[in-house]
């Protein structure tokens, strides 16, 4: 699904553009993932797992843009991608009412209201596609994500003990959250 570009005014008075990435922006998206993976321990991928190629990244972007159920919105600051989020809706009829989201930003763009604005946009899209609930997972200890999700109306529903192994060998729980749409 293609998300129509939208200009977003940030808390610091600057603007960014939310839009679906073009396949030609494959390198920008790879640079963004490398940025996030190196700056936070709380996304699934480690920096050494960022091994995408032009071919795989173009296919990844096209997969979202061509989908009727899934949507990807990137955050463009000038020519650079500084954030990204994905909406995925389950395909089977019995679980077609459930949308999932994943979101990340480069540190340079934290706490400017971008996370809140992305979740607002994704909630509208999910609702328009007939979904009645929004779901996500975060790693215990990620207080920024917890704050964002609580602010946006998500509530914790489950915890997977030791769901994530951190780079120092310790384990952290995964927290599952749900929001009614």
Ligand X SMILES: CC(C)(COP(=O)(O)OP(=O)(O)OC[C@H]1O[C@@H](n2cnc3c(N)ncnc32)[C@H](O)[C@@H]1OP(=O)(O)O)[C@@H](O)C(=O)NCCC(=O)NCCS
What residues make contact with ligand X under the rule CB under 6 A?
Answer: 36, 40, 42-43, 103-105, 110-116, 138, 142-145, 147-148, 151
Give 175's DSSP letter. E
Q: In the complex, what is the shortest distance from the CB of residue 45 to ligand X, in angstroms, rounded to a whole number?
A: 11
Pick the closer one to ligand X by CB: 14 or 151: 151
Q: In the complex, what is the shortest distance from the CB of residue 84 to ligand X, in angstroms, rounded to a whole number?
A: 9
- Report how many helices (DSSP H) and strands (DSSP E) the chain contains, helices first: 4, 8
Quick check: 49 and 36 in contact, CB under 8 A?
Answer: no
Q: In the complex, what is the shortest distance from the CB of residue 175 to ligand X, in angstroms, rounded to a whole number?
A: 9
Pick the closer one to ligand X by CB: 97 or 111: 111
Three state DSSP letters for 91-157: CCHHHCCEEEEEEEECHHHCCCCHHHHHHHHHHHHHHHCCCCEEEEEEECCCHHHHHHHHHCCCEEE
Pick the closer one to ligand X by CB: 21 or 104: 104
Pick the closer one to ligand X by CB: 54 or 150: 150
Q: In the complex, what is the shortest distance from the CB of residue 68 to ligand X, in angstroms, rounded to a whole number?
A: 25
User: Residue 45 — φ and ψ, nearest 5°?
Assistant: -85, 140
Q: In the complex, what is the shortest distance from the CB of residue 55 to ligand X, in angstroms, rounded to a whole number?
A: 26
Place of tokens 């602010």: 151
Dihedral, CA of residue 166, residue 74, residue 90 and residue 69, to nearest 10: -170
Pick the closer one to ligand X by CB: 21 or 115: 115
């Amino acid at each position: 699904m293609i998300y129509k570009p939208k200009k977003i005014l940030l808390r610091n008075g600057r603007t960014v553009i939310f839009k679906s990435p073009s396949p030609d922006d494959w390198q920008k998206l790879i640079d963004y993932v490398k940025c996030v993976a190196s700056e936070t321990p709380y996304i699934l991928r480690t920096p050494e797992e960022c091994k995408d190629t032009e071919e795989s990244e173009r296919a990844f972007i096209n997969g979202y843009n061509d989908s009727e159920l899934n949507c990807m919105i990137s955050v463009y600051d000038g020519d650079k991608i500084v954030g990204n989020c994905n909406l995925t809706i389950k395909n089977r009829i019995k679980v077609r009412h459930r949308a999932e989201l994943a979101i990340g930003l480069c540190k340079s763009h934290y706490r400017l209201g971008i996370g809140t604005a992305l979740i607002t946009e994704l909630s509208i899209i999910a609702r328009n596609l007939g979904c009645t609930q929004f779901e996500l997972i975060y790693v215990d200890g990620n207080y920024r994500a917890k704050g964002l999700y609580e602010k946006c109306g998500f509530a914790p529903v489950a915890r997977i003990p030791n769901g994530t192994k951190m780079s120092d060998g310790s384990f952290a729980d995964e927290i599952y959250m749900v929001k009614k749409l």
